[in-house]
Amino acid sequence: MSGTQPSGGASGGANSGSGSGSAMRPAERALLASLPTGLLIDGEWREASDGGTFVVEDPATGAALLAIADATPADGEAALAAAHRAQAGWARTAPRERAEILRRAFDAVTARAEDFALLMTLEMGKPLAESRGEVAYGAEFLRWFSEETSRVSGRYATAPDGRSRLLVLKRPVGPSLFITPWNFPLAMATRKIAPAIAAGCTMVLKPAALTPLTALLFAAVLEEAGLPPGVLNVIPTTSAGRVTGPLVRDPRLRKLSFTGSTEVGRRLIADAADQVLRVSMELGGNAPFLVFEDADLDQAVEGALLAKLRNGGEACTAANRLLVHERVAAEFAERLTARIAAYPVARGTEPGAKLGPLVDAGTRDKVHELVESARADGATVALGGRPVPGPGYFYEPTVLTNVPADARILREEIFGPVAPIVTFADEAEAVALANATEFGLVAYAFTRDLDRGLRLAEELEVGMFGLNTGIVSNPAAPFGGVKQSGIGREGGFEGIEEYLETTYVGIADPFRG
């Protein structure tokens, strides 16, 4: 894998935030040295047009990992121009050929699972076990959409009055811009890129500046799998607005897909209106986690650990508010606190690590600010509640009880390992509390009452619902939210439709005359 190599290479030698004292290992150095560090534009790895670079850091140590090219607006324009030039030929490429590229990419990502897992742990911080899970999840989008590629179909029908025939065709939307977040560096890329490849769309990918290395490795794997030049262009940058803003206003772009905060999503939707772009938006969440009085508490605690602490709480699907029936709240809180207290906090590469660092100092400080705000509102800190001293951006796993229903921490996305517990008296109050937010991505509920579960599925204002499970993400299922949590769906049968336009052809009656 070629690329522009930074002067001085990767640095190491810093200790983990957990105090384990582990310096960067030879395998880590070797992986970083093998990565492309340039921009991928029209099938070539190149430096930024002004020669600029930026450094990617290890959030467990604060040490530099690698310097990579920092794209400029001119580089963004070149990437879109390449995607535009490649679009017509790529759209005519046989579906089976596109499918085989995706399948080869799936095989390659799976074969290099340890490389991808280690790289994500280094640049994002999550424990290796979770990174391996993300590799399996992210790769599955490649396999799923390889199977969907040849199933894109239309229809031929007789008009109701019998005087004409209706032909309905599907065709690619066209050049697409993807802006992905830092928290799932592989899965958020594959969830967008795989259906676009399947549908016949070319792409420009702007990965998050905090975690761009995984995207660069994945782009190199797609090249090796046979993806033609210009179909995927990758432009990491620290100037996201300056680079992507002109692309959104460029008439050659036909689709914008963004995963990130609702605040940024609103601005992008407004900008996309000028070109009437197709948009997919996967935005913020404020997921309620409901535990009813008849729940299996062991199962509910396990579900809460998954829904709250997966990815260190840095997930839009994380349980943000734990709403527990007043009859079982004390026992649930006691069990959950005992389990969370046993979670080792360490650099993600350390054996047994279950919680790594938060991604940067700003994220850690925001989490602590929310905890302190809840404390001031009258919440009880049952566990944790402080940043971990030392290098890196670690935060203690935290449980809050007696949280007032109007506390700020229940209104804002926490994005950290903090579990605030609120009580409710009955199902009606639980639903009202759950729906009392502008967000509507996902909700979770634990109950043995199937009728109640079905009622909740219809009453909760969310795009996804986990019944007696703390995880809902699945490549075969449509991922997305309602209200201010987004527009559109990713994954499932629905995912490829986001990259297809519908054309209707009216045909004169062949039996006329």
pLDDT digits (tens, 9 = 90+) for 220-262: 999 999 999 999 999 999 999 999 999 999 999 999 999 999 9
With helix as H, strand as E and coil as C, how does 473-512 read? CCCCCCECCEECCEECCECCCCHHHHHEEEEEEEEECCCC
Mean pLDDT for 42-49 is: 98
Catalytic residue check, 44:
no
For residues 125 and 134, the answer to whether their CB atoms sit within 8 Å is no
**Whether pLDDT at 67 is above 90:** yes
Mean pLDDT for the chain overall: 94
Q: In Å, what is the CA distance from 220 to each residue of 83, 201, 223, 464?
A: 17, 18, 5, 33
Q: How far apart are CA 228 and CA 232, in angstroms?
A: 8
**Whether pLDDT at 16 is above 80:** no
**Whether pLDDT at 113 is above 90:** yes
For residues 268 and 281, the answer to whether their CB atoms sit within 8 Å is yes
Domains of the chain, first to last: 72-283+490-498 (3.40.605.10), 287-474 (3.40.309.10)
Q: If pLDDT is split at 50, 70 and 90, which confidence band does 390 have?
A: confident
**Number of Cβ within a 10 Å radius of residue 276:** 8
**Whether pLDDT at 513 is above 70:** no
Residues 6+ away with beta carbon under 8 Å from 265? 258, 281, 283, 284, 486
**Whether pLDDT at 42 is above 80:** yes
Mean pLDDT for 156-183 is: 97
Question: What's this model's pTM, rounded to 2 decimal places?
Answer: 0.94
Q: What are phi and psi of 242, to 5 degrees?
A: -65, -35
User: 395 has which bridge partners?
Assistant: 387
pLDDT at 22: 52
Residues 6+ away with beta carbon under 8 Å from 486? 265, 280, 281, 282, 283, 441, 463, 480
For residues 39 and 68, the answer to whether their CB atoms sit within 8 Å is no
Catalytic residue among 134, 282, 314, 497: 282
**Whether pLDDT at 11 is above 90:** no
Q: How far apart are CA 198 and CA 146, in angstroms?
A: 7
pLDDT digits (tens, 9 = 90+) for 318-358: 999 999 999 999 999 999 999 999 999 999 999 999 999 99
Q: How far apart are CA 507 and CA 72, in angstroms?
A: 48
Mean pLDDT for 467-487 is: 97
Residue keyed to tokens 């395998």: 27
